[in-house]
């Protein structure tokens, strides 16, 4: 039977994506694992691999199509012994827009204790073997499921082997997991309704003279940033703590470390530590020194992390992204420096993978290089804190009873009050300040 190629969910937040280009054309032979197309998500450009072999009979969604919904059919593969030209003709009428997936609708889940009217048909359906002769149409130990379905099942504590797949060849997809969750004894907590906008787009545009503005449609990244940050600001109880850090000693240490860097064959230094690298390391060590703040909130429990995974905000065209430096407390400053250069380069090229930016216990946002003295950042869930760093500047301070000039930096820690209380946040910020003002402690 023909095999539908579905728009995959390449990240937990992905609802739609842009089909940038096909790497195969109609009539090409396909092997499992072949790269079929490139998909642009809100954060990166990623490749879609074939999970079945056959011939690419029909491209349903052409190159350059925007806002294709997850699980929509984007193409069709003809299986062994099938006529690709016939399938192409039969599928030529398929719509190629978001929300029009032709994947089969999963059967209605049976109600416990109630026998369907057509008992024989129901029994035959329930006992019919799946393609491939095994549960969910997969012959190996690993159930055949989409990445999004696997994630949803894992988060809900469901075994994939207990879920009936309705996708191609019995593949488990998102709606199958949701159907299984609907049968769970305890219903999920009700979702808070989205806040309605005060004014419509048309009403806003009427406030300005015609021809006095240019409309620039939102891309997928800007839509996702707007949605996630609006949700974070509305649902996370933020509070803020500020501190001023004397960074004279840190600046002198940074200069000495960079001056002592070994040289390669071309005479260039092997590394160049940035001021931001010190901030990443200090925040990671502070989280380890105050382990009660190195946490993630969930409705059922607090997740206390063994390592300090620190996200770092990187500005890219059209928005921003925060790749994660994993176990930053275990890495040297030069390792953090080289890793951040790689992550930032891949972020700007839209080549980050989901594992490069998902998760993290805290994050760093530094606008000091733009002359911003201090600011407050919005927490990016599932993180519990975010540290905003301002510009370094000479200020007059009191030292040993007399005035002196020192290079000072203001920082603001945003905390999720559900996970980090006021005193706990103060301890975390104090640990960070101590490391910044005594930076030799980062080299131990």
Show which residues are catalytic.
Answer: 417
Instruction: List Cα–Cα distances, 391 to 244, 257, 387, in angstroms.
Output: 11, 22, 13
Instruction: List Cα–Cα distances, 154 to 58, 81, 187, 394, 428, in angstroms.
Output: 34, 37, 17, 51, 32
Q: In angstroms, rounded to a whole number, what is the distance separating the alpha carbons of residues 326 and 420?
A: 21
Task: Confirm if 10 and 39 have CB atoms less than 8 A apart.
Answer: yes
SS3 432: helix
Tokens read off for 420: 């980090």
Task: Confirm if 103 and 167 have CB atoms less than 8 A apart.
Answer: yes
What contacts 335, CB < 8 A, 6 or more positions away?
none
Task: Confirm if 14 and 218 have CB atoms less than 8 A apart.
Answer: no
Q: In angstroms, rounded to a whole number, what is the distance separating the alpha carbons of residues 349 and 214?
A: 27
In degrees rounded to 5, what are phi and psi of residue 441? -65, -20
Instruction: List Cα–Cα distances, 176 to 88, 108, 185, in angstroms.
Output: 28, 10, 17
Q: In angstroms, rounded to a whole number, what is the distance separating the alpha carbons of residues 136 and 371?
A: 57
Task: Confirm if 322 and 14 have CB atoms less than 8 A apart.
Answer: no
As a residue count, the chain comes to: 444
Q: Give the other-Cβ count within 10 Å of 139's Cβ.
A: 11
Q: In angstroms, rounded to a whole number, what is the distance separating the alpha carbons of residues 385 and 411?
A: 13
Q: Show the 3-state SS of 83-103.
A: CHHHHHHHCCCCCCCCCCCCC
SS3 35: strand
């Amino acid at each position: 039977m023909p095999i539908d190629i579905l728009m995959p969910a390449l990240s937990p937040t992905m609802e739609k994506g842009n089909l940038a280009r096909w790497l195969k054309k109609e009539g090409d032979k396909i092997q499992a694992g072949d790269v079929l197309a490139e998909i642009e998500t809100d954060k990166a450009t990623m490749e879609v691999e074939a999970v079945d072999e056959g011939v690419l009979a029909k491209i349903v969604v052409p190159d350059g199509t925007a806002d294709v919904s997850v699980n929509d059919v984007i193409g069709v593969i003809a299986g062994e012994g099938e006529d690709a030209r016939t399938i192409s003709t039969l599928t030529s009428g398929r719509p190629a827009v978001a929300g029009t997936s032709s994947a089969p609708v999963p059967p209605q889940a049976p109600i416990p204790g109630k026998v369907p009217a057509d008992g024989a048909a129901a029994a035959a359906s329930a006992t019919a073997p799946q393609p491939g002769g095994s549960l969910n149409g997969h012959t190996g130990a690993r159930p055949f499921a989409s990445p999004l379905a696997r994630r949803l099942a894992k988060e809900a504590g469901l075994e994939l082997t207990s879920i009936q797949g309705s996708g191609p060849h019995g593949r488990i997809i998102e709606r199958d997991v949701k159907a299984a969750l609907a049968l769970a004894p305890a219903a999920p907590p009700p979702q808070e309704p989205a806040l309605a906008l005060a004014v419509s787009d048309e009403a806003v545009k009427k406030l300005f003279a015609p021809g006095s503005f240019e409309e620039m449609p939102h891309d997928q990244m800007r839509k996702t940033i707007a949605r996630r940050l609006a949700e974070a600001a509305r649902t996370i109880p933020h509070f803020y703590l500020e501190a001023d850090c004397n960074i004279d000693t840190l600046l002198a240490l940074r200069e000495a470390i960079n001056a002592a860097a070994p040289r390669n064959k071309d005479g260039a230094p092997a590394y160049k530590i940035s001021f931001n690298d010190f901030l990443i390391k200090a925040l990671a060590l502070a989280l380890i020194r105050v382990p009660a703040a190195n946490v993630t909130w969930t409705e059922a429990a607090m997740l206390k992390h063994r390592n300090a995974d620190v996200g770092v905000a990187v500005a890219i065209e059209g928005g921003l992204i925060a790749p994660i430096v994993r176990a930053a407390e275990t890495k040297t400053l030069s390792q953090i420096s080289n890793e951040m250069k790689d992550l930032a380069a891949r972020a700007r090229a839209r080549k980050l993978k989901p594992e490069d930016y998902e998760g993290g216990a805290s994050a760093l946002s530094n606008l000091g290089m733009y002359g911003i003295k201090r600011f407050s950042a919005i927490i990016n869930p599932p993180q519990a804190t975010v540290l905003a760093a301002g510009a370094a500047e000479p200020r007059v301070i009191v030292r040993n009873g007399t005035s002196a000039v020192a290079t000072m930096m203001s920082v603001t820690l945003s905390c999720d009050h559900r996970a980090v209380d006021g005193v706990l946040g103060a301890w975390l910020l104090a640990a960070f300040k101590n490391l910044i003002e005594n930076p030799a402690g980062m080299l131990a």
